Amino acid sequence: MDRWIEETFHPHWRVRLEADEVLHEVKTDHQHLVIFKNRTWGTVLMLDGVCQLTTSDEFIYHEMMAHVPLMALDKPKQVLVVGGGDGGVLREVLKHPSVERAMLCEIDREVIDTALKYYPEIPGSSFDDERAVVVIADGRKFVAETDERFDAIIIDSSEPIGPSAVLHTPEFFASCRHALKDDGILVTQNGLPFMFPDHLRETTRAFAALFAHVAPYMCTQPCYFGGPFAINWASDEDDHLDLTIKKLEKRQEKRGITTRYWTPAVHLAAFALPQYAETVVREAMAEGSLSYVGKGGRGKAKPVKKLRA
């Protein structure tokens, strides 16, 4: 008999995916993890009723998490990925030839082992790259205590519920800011702003209290049901947003990077938010900017520049 596995993340509606073959399933007192095959989505990972990834469309999320910040940097050398044990973001980071070290901090080694066993096409050979450094540790603790300084920090966490909630707090973002170089870029996933605007709002407010420039951007991630997917960006360097298609094309050609979703035009267009998201962002930026006056911030968060074609 066919088995249908239901996504239960949304409180008032459900999406079901057919499980042609269940590859792995474990239920504990803390979580329910299931990995299965689907003829449309390929291999699917669901955790506690939430679709985490599919091998059919994972490239979209991973490319946009990695290439938007790294293509904005002239020569990114030191990159930290917090979470991301499936290796997809690490794979994309390592496409940049200037990267000397890509550090991945994952709290659970089993996440990496699961990826290598059930969907090895996602990490590919990234964990074997001599520039990759894997640290098994609590990301919050690692970032708070590290003496390293990074060109980019990419927070590849799940939704702000359960154990991942600590990676969405102002305190954690403050530690990330300290671990960045002066012109570094911080990005983190912000979920589906149409369905859950508070996720985007809270991160934007926290970023605006810490950085001079906040610039959420969006992509279309088919397996994340509920509208466009948001990723938030923060930096103190405004030149990272002063980009043109021509400049990005030159960087892509020089670095020899091939992609399936990211393009220079998509890069620029991603920062154009629909009005419902723009309203959330501007209100949160105003609140965040005011929240740190007199607390040693680097300057009031500025409106996002209009990116030029």
- Of 86, 151, 156, 236, catalytic: 156
Contact 89, 58 (CB under 8 A): no
Catalytic residue at 74? no
Residues 6+ apart with CB under 8 A from 151: 73, 76, 77, 78, 79, 180, 181, 183, 184, 185
Contact 15, 26 (CB under 8 A): no
Cα–Cα distances in angstroms (integers) from residue 19 to residues 25, 27, 46, in the given order = 12, 17, 11
CA dist., res. 246 & res. 201, Å (int): 32
What is the CB-side half-sphere exposure of residue 101 using CA atoms within 13 A?
11
* Token pair for 230: 């948001």
CA dist., res. 187 & res. 154, Å (int): 5
Residue 36 burial (10 A CB sphere; 0-12, 13-18, 19+): buried
CA dist., res. 14 & res. 225, Å (int): 10
Active site amino acids: 156
